[in-house]
Amino acid sequence: MASSYHADSEQKRNAVKQQLENLINELSSVGLSVHFLQNKAVITNVLQDEYKLLDGEEALKFVNQPKFADKMVCINQEQFYCHTDYLVQRSDYFKALFSNNFQENKMDIVSIELPAPGKFESILRFLYSGKADISLFQGEEIFHVIQNSTFLGIGELLDRAVTAFAQKWKVLSRLPLYKRSIVDSKFVDAVLEYGARNGLFVDGQKLKFVILWNEEDNLQFQESLRLIEKHRCLESTSIADLEWAFETKPELISLINTKNFRSVYRRTLKDFEQSREQNRKTEEKAKGLLNCVRILTTQLEEVRCHRCQLFMPRAALKSRTCVTMQHPGEYLTNRGWSCCGEFFKRTKGCKPYSLSKHRLCNGR
């Protein structure tokens, strides 16, 4: 009985299969194609559209579309229609997953657990088009992108994340997610290299960037020590930055080889000499300015021409001549100008020339 039952079942399956093949052939004869995915049949017009590998904005028309899709990828309870040709061109993970060595290559539905929550559809759009949405690099989302891109082996997206992170490192490095369990040393290494090459790290900021990286699962700080030495973080560090590092993470600083502090010592001595030379030049400049003030004060001191009784700054007197009344005379210190040798006490106001007591001095 059992063998007879199995024979009947096999006969029915073959009959259904033959009917299905006949139906597919009939659809093909009228220019239609049938695509099966997740136990669903999608019938499209072959002459209406043609599937070919595109790039850029044009490739976005295939994102999460059942037409021509050959995989259903489930990410954190979300399902996406995918095309293997697009998944493997920018992701090392999908390239290995859909090779002949893994059974997923023959499966219609593939489930993947990403290490971090995030906008997978935006990542999927990047896999298709190579264009990254700016929202991927905003706030905490950039940390999710770093984790998921590292997991999926999307090198191009990681490079974009490195650029965005280096430009906003002062803000992002202060967030709690900036730690080893999320951002690996390879990414920190790339950010330091990019930032140094583009002038985004100055003075002791490279050391600060490494110090803020919370290497919580490695008490020996091997990766941090390697980054400090590789990128020469101490070469441009000031004493103030070093003091901050000691206060923030003393256990890490205490592990740094003492020979690495020689550059700090030499630079500190050099800075001290430059500071002392600058102070000397500043003092000389201040003395020169003080002397100028004294000279100007002397020149602006008021003196009086005893011929016209006019008060004026000393600088207004030219060649022993009163430039106001244009008459010659001589000046004696602390006494004043005179054209006849007689000196008078200072009086109020300036008498007109015609009433001056020295109106006859021109004849002398």
Residue at 15: amino acid letter: A
Three-state DSSP class for residue 151: helix
CATH number given to 35-167: 3.30.710.10
- Residue 153 near residue 91, CB atoms below 8 Å: yes
Report the chain's terminal Cα–Cα distance, integer Å: 160
- At 351 the pLDDT is 38
More confident residue, 271 or 184: 184
| Least trusted range by pLDDT, from 159-173, 177-191, 281-295 | 281-295
Question: What's the whole-number mean pLDDT along residues 182-194?
Answer: 94
For the chain, give every domain's residue range: 35-167, 199-277, 300-359
Long-range contacts formed by 91-95: CB under 8 A, 24+ apart: 91/127, 91/152, 91/153, 91/154, 92/152, 92/153, 92/154, 92/155, 93/151, 93/152, 93/153, 94/127, 94/152, 95/153
- At 317 the pLDDT is 54
Q: Does residue 102 carry a pLDDT above 90?
A: no
Q: Give the separation between CA 121 and CA 104, rounded to whole angstroms.
A: 21
Q: Does residue 359 carry a pLDDT above 50?
A: no
Q: Which residue has 């295939």 as its token pair?
A: 62
Q: Report the range out of 43-47, 51-55, 139-143, 262-266 with the highest average pLDDT.
A: 139-143
CA angle 176, 122, 132 (to 5 degrees): 85
Q: Give the separation between CA 359 and CA 364, rounded to whole angstroms.
A: 11
Dihedral of the alpha carbons of 155, 161, 166, 171, in degrees to the nearest 10: -150
- At 81 the pLDDT is 93
Q: Give the separation between CA 180 and CA 245, rounded to whole angstroms.
A: 18
Q: Report the range out of 44-58, 105-119, 330-344 with the highest average pLDDT.
A: 105-119
Q: Give the separation between CA 129 and CA 83, rounded to whole angstroms.
A: 13
- At 129 the pLDDT is 92
- At 284 the pLDDT is 87
- Residue 205 near residue 238, CB atoms below 8 Å: no
Query: What confidence tens digit (pLDDT) does each residue in 253-301 have?
Result: 888 877 666 766 667 667 777 778 888 888 888 888 888 888 777 666 6
Q: How far is CA 273 from CA 234, 239, 282, in A?
A: 20, 15, 14
Q: How far is CA 252 from CA 133, 225, 278, in A?
A: 37, 8, 35
Q: Give the separation between CA 166 and CA 142, rounded to whole angstroms.
A: 12
Q: Band the pLDDT of 329: cuts 50, 70, 90.
A: low
C-alpha closest to that of 180 among 210, 147, 216, 132: 216
Query: What confidence tens digit (pLDDT) does each residue in 198-208 have?
Result: 999 987 899 99
Query: What confidence tens digit (pLDDT) does each residue in 211-260 have?
Result: 999 776 556 688 898 998 899 888 878 778 888 888 888 888 888 877 66
Please give the mean pLDDT across all residues of the chain. Answer: 77
